[in-house]
Amino acid sequence: MRKTILVIIVTLLLLGDFSMIANASAGTIYETESNNTHSTADVTYNDYDNYGKISSSSDIDWWKFTTAYEGCCNVWLGSIPSGCDYDLYLYSSSGTTLLASSTKRTGSQELIRFHLSANTQYKVKIQSYSGYSTSKNYKFRVFNYPLTPAHTKNLLWNIESIYYYVDSSASIYTSTIADAAYNWVYTGFGWNNLYPNTQTSNISDSAIDFYSYYSPPVNIGGVTVTPLGETSHYAREYGTYGTPYIVNADTEDWLFNEIRINNYAFSSNPSSSLATIVHEFGHAFGLAHNNDNVNSIMCQDIYDRVVSTVQDVDHWAFVKKHP
């Protein structure tokens, strides 16, 4: 987006992203037989440790739980007794619509990851593929992760006509920006309603302008942190053609974004900026921080994010923001 005046670069610590350098379960439940049908399923809850036995070749254990909020869910079966092969199935509350399954033929655990609706009951079936044990428990857990939060306000640019511009100051990041851009188009959890999210050489066509800057580590509250990148959301004073100014994405819609990548952190190894650029793209599209979940790309690096690409909680948050 072309500027009508020189925009003074401001450092927004709240928007900036920085680098620096387990919890116990909520409770324990043992199964109550007979729970061999979905209508007699044992009740469990988010983050509980659940134990049960598959005590004969015909024994089937059903569990049910109700979500508190929309999110993504790990349904995990572990401690499968040695010599046994148990499988895990996730059903809708009717007990007849299979939503997902995990049926590995090796190892002692099964895992389903699934996008769950809010305030909805789900049912889980555990049964033997081979073997059973009258003495050894399996362990079963459900853990529900909230979707990545979104900013209250919106990017006004048509999400189906998004191009980005790379200023010469950020040219060393061009291929990494392209990788990050494509990661939001196809996340691995599905195609997003986002087109084409490719580079344009005409800044007037750009909804997201990339620049670099240079900042050595800074002191925040007595902690030394290295800035990685930052996203600024811009509206215009007089509509589409007025003077650009930075807005708070929770109080005002915005027309376009500027993303800055810190050369201090990345210029010696530009491709190592992938996670930061994917994260900043997320801000440009209206997603906020998800610092409670280290498996979200919208977790800040200072909160020990462990992923470098879009995850399920981020994908479904984007879908919700841009249906």
Give how far Cα 92 sits from Cα of 29, 109, 120, Å: 22, 22, 9
Nearest distance, CB of residue 169 and Zn ion, angstroms: 20
305 neighbors 228 (Cβ within 8 angstroms): no
DSSP per residue, 168-230: GGGGGGHHHHHHHHHHHHB-SS-B-S--EEEE-S-GGG-SEEEEEE----EEETTEEEEEEEE
CB closer to Zn ion out of 124 and 297 = 297
Torsion of CA 311, 113, 45, 289, to 10 degrees: 0
User: In the complex, what is the shortest distance from the CB of residue 260 to Zn ion, in angstroms, rounded to a whole number?
Assistant: 12
Q: Which stretch binds Zn ion (CB under 5 A): 12-20, 45-53, 60-68, 246-254?
A: 12-20
Q: Tell the smallest beta-carbon distance from residue 277 to Zn ion (Å).
A: 11
Nearer to Zn ion by Cβ, of 17 and 61: the residue is 17
Quick one: 72 exposed, middle or buried, by C-beta within 10 A (0-12, 13-18, 19+)? Answer: buried
Smallest gap from Cβ 46 to Zn ion, in A, equals 27
CB of 300 to Zn ion, least distance (A): 5
Alpha helices in the chain (DSSP H): 174-185, 263-266, 274-284, 312-321
Q: How many whole angstroms separate alpha carbon 76 and alpha carbon 215?
A: 43
- Contact of 142 with 100, CB cutoff 8 Å: no
230 binds Zn ion (CB under 5 A): no
Read off the tokens for 86.
Answer: 């148990």
Q: Which of 6, 8, 10, 17 binds Zn ion (CB under 5 A)?
A: 17
- Give the interface size with Zn ion as a residue count (CB under 5 A): 1
Kindly identify the residues of this chain, within the stretch 55-84, that bind Zn ion according to CB under 5 A. Answer: none
What is the distance of C-alpha 117 from the center of its chain? Answer: 16
Of 133 and 276, which has the nearer Cβ to Zn ion?
A: 276
Choices 14-22, 108-116, 249-257, 265-273; region in contact with Zn ion by CB under 5 A: 14-22
Binding region for Zn ion (CB under 5 A) out of 15-23, 197-205, 232-240, 310-318: 15-23
Measured from each CB, the residue nearest to Zn ion is 17
CB nearer Zn ion, residue 142 or residue 299 = 299
Minimum distance of Zn ion from residue 124's CB (angstroms): 35
State the residues that interact with Zn ion by CB under 5 A: 17
